[in-house]
């Protein structure tokens, strides 16, 4: 079964991204990554960040990753003609996608497992096996540097 979060983020035509090195290569400025590779790689890194923030803010707030669903009206796939249009079976309107995000603010049925943070556009909590690659704490830490680490790496005096 393919992973919908890393499906387009590939090292070649068939191997999903599973290493830090490939993510770095794909997300560098002027890389040879396609628009869809950049999109899926950046979404994967955002999910890593959501996990990192969940750990950092434990006990202070609840961090949730939310999918608005497949929303052709955003123009995301404009560089891939025919990839998805408003008539696609799973397509949602921009207002419907926004409602999925807003609904997360009123949820109180959080899963007991703190690693289960992904809320689908259908209002369901995805099983963490779907996004298991994002549960790697080393990847989360790599892609979510602290302010101190950024300042140190950039030579900014605190």
Active site (annotated) includes residue 39: yes
- How far apart are the C-alpha atoms of 95 and 13, rounded to whole Å? 34
Inter-CA distances, 7 with 48, 60, 107, 146, Å: 16, 33, 28, 28
Q: 123-131: which pairs have CB atoms within 8 A and are 24 or more residues apart?
A: 130/3, 130/4, 130/5, 131/3, 131/5, 131/47
Active site (annotated) includes residue 142: no
Which of 26, 39, 132, 142 is labelled catalytic?
Answer: 39
Which of 10, 26, 28, 43 is labelled catalytic?
Answer: 43
- How far apart are the C-alpha atoms of 66 and 104, rounded to whole Å? 7
Residues 133 and 18 sit within 8 Å (Cβ to Cβ):
yes
By annotation, the residues acting in catalysis are 39, 43
């Amino acid at each position: 079964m393919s992973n919908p979060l890393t499906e387009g983020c590939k090292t070649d035509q068939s191997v999903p991204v599973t290493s830090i090195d490939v993510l770095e290569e794909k997300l560098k400025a002027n890389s040879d990554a396609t628009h869809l590779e950049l999109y899926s790689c950046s979404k994967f890194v955002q999910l890593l960040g959501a996990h990192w923030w969940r750990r950092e803010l434990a006990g202070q707030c609840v961090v949730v990753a939310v999918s608005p669903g497949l929303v052709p009206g955003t123009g995301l796939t404009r560089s891939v003609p025919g990839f998805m249009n408003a008539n696609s079976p799973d397509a949602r309107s921009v207002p419907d996608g926004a409602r999925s995000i807003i609904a997360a603010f009123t949820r109180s049925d959080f899963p007991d497992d703190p690693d289960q943070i992904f809320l689908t556009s259908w209002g369901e909590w995805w099983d963490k096996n779907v996004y298991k690659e994002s549960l790697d704490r080393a990847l989360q830490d790599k892609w979510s540097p602290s302010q101190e680490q950024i300042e140190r790496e950039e030579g900014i005096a605190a």
